């Protein structure tokens, strides 16, 4: 149990670890889905290829979309891409980094599905059973059959219980031939994916390490900024609701006084704390204006110290900082009359 707790805490440590855990779970789920899937080839010349290639390609596409849906950064990427320019520019490199990062993680589960499907061989056997070279593996001159009849016989190769073309080509020979081709394609696909992942991981720092670090940093910043903004809005909403409810009950106190009910002593400590968290935004229209302003013109990424107020107004940046006044030393004198 402690090991599972440590793994769960590692997944929750940051956004990338969380998404890596989600992708790993989806990869395991894809293998379990394929093992639990009941593969039934239609064994018809016009439908075998559509069914086999559909099982090979359609579930990976669905898993790829699920990888994007389960990624929390997809909404952040769309928001950053569609927002107005405002006071903060949009960096295309950061947007490309976010999209590539999500695409790489979303491709894990589809790649696992395609690899397992090709190594199993059922889809390729169903899809290309009518393309078996009968002249090489069978006896095409044994029966005088038309091309259409030969296609119908070969289409039943995946369905061993209804196959009736042993004189044309043995079922075991055709299945083994197609399965060997499928497994060869599967291992080639695994090798290709592994090589691409190795090249991306090893060669990318050699060319654009500085740009990669910059894009990664600002991608994390956008994620953290969005979370802090949501937390601040939630805290403001909680304080706003608390003040509204307290004002409602304070307004109802007049009716209680008229009914000669004993009222407890008023404590405004909670109301004062909640009012401080409102930051001067105390009505709906002002809050809506603040939210629209945050979306349309986000503040620039330039931190500057707040200006100090002076006697004639606000102190400018060119003025030297005020020196703290030294505490005045007080002395006491004692006189004695002798």
pLDDT digits (tens, 9 = 90+) for 178-230: 999 999 999 999 999 999 988 887 877 777 778 888 888 998 898 889 889 99
**Structure tokens belonging to residue 263:** 């009222």
Q: Which two tokens stand for residue 320?
A: 């030297």
Task: Dig out the tokens for 165 from the structure.
Answer: 């073309």
> Which residue has tokens 């899809």?
127
**All residues at 6 or more sequence positions from 316 whose CB lies less than 8 Å from its CB, including other chains:** 307
| Whole-structure pTM value | 0.72
Measured between alpha carbons, how far is residue 23 from residues 8, 63, 112 in Å? 14, 10, 11
Burial 155-183 (b: 16+ CB within 10 A, else e): bbbbbeeebebeebbbbeebbebbbeebe
**Which has the higher per-residue pLDDT, 249 or 321?**
249
Query: Where do we find the tokens 């169903």?
Result: 126
pLDDT of residue 234: 92
**Average pLDDT of the residues in 286-299:** 88
5 pLDDT more than 90: no
Q: Binning pLDDT at 50, 70 and 90, where does residue 28 land?
A: confident
Q: Is residue 29's pLDDT more than 90?
A: no
Confidence of residue 143 (pLDDT cuts 50, 70, 90): low
Residue 266 DSSP one-character state: P
Pick the closest to residue 247 from 284, 287, 282, 290 (CA basis).
282
**Mean pLDDT (the chain, rounded):** 79
| pLDDT, tens digit (0-9, with 9 covering 90-100), for 240-284 | 898 888 888 877 776 666 655 554 554 556 556 666 778 778 888
Both tokens of 94, joined, read 């950061």
Evaluated on CA atoms 61, 63, 65, 71, the torsion sign reads negative
């Amino acid at each position: 149990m402690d090991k599972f707790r440590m793994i769960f805490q590692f997944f929750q440590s940051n956004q990338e670890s969380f998404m890596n855990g989600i992708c790993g779970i989806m990869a395991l789920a894809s293998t379990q889905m394929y093992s639990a899937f009941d593969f039934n080839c239609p064994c018809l010349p016009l439908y075998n290829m559509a069914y086999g290639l559909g099982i090979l390609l359609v579930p990976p596409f669905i898993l790829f979309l699920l990888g994007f849906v389960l990624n929390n950064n997809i909404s952040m990427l769309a928001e950053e891409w569609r927002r107005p320019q405002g006071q903060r520019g949009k960096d295309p490199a950061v947007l490309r980094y976010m999209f590539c990062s999500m695409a790489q993680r979303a491709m894990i589960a589809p790649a696992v599905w395609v690899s397992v499907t090709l190594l199993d061989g059922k889809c390729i056997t169903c899809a290309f059973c009518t393309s078996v070279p009968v002249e090489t593996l069978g006896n095409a001159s044994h029966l005088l059959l038309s091309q259409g009849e030969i296609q119908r016989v070969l289409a039943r190769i995946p369905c061993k219980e209804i196959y009736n073309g042993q004189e044309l080509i043995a079922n075991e020979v055709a299945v083994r031939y197609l399965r060997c081709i499928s497994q060869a394609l599967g291992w080639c696909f695994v090798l290709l994916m592994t090589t691409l992942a190795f090249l991306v991981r090893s060669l990318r720092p050699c060319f654009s390490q500085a740009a990669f670090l910059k894009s990664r940093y600002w991608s994390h910043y956008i994620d953290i900024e969005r979370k802090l903004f949501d937390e601040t809005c939630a805290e403001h909403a909680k304080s706003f609701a608390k003040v509204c409810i307290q004002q409602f009950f304070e307004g109802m106190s007049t009716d209680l006084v008229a009914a000669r009910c004993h009222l407890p002593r008023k404590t405004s400590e909670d109301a004062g704390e909640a009012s401080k968290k409102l930051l001067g935004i105390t009505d709906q229209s002002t809050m809506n204006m603040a939210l629209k302003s945050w979306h349309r013109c986000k503040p620039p990424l330039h931190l500057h110290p707040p200006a100090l107020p002076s006697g004639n107004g606000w102190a400018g940046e060119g003025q030297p900082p005020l020196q703290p006044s030294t505490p005045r030393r007080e002395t006491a004198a004692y006189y004695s009359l002798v």
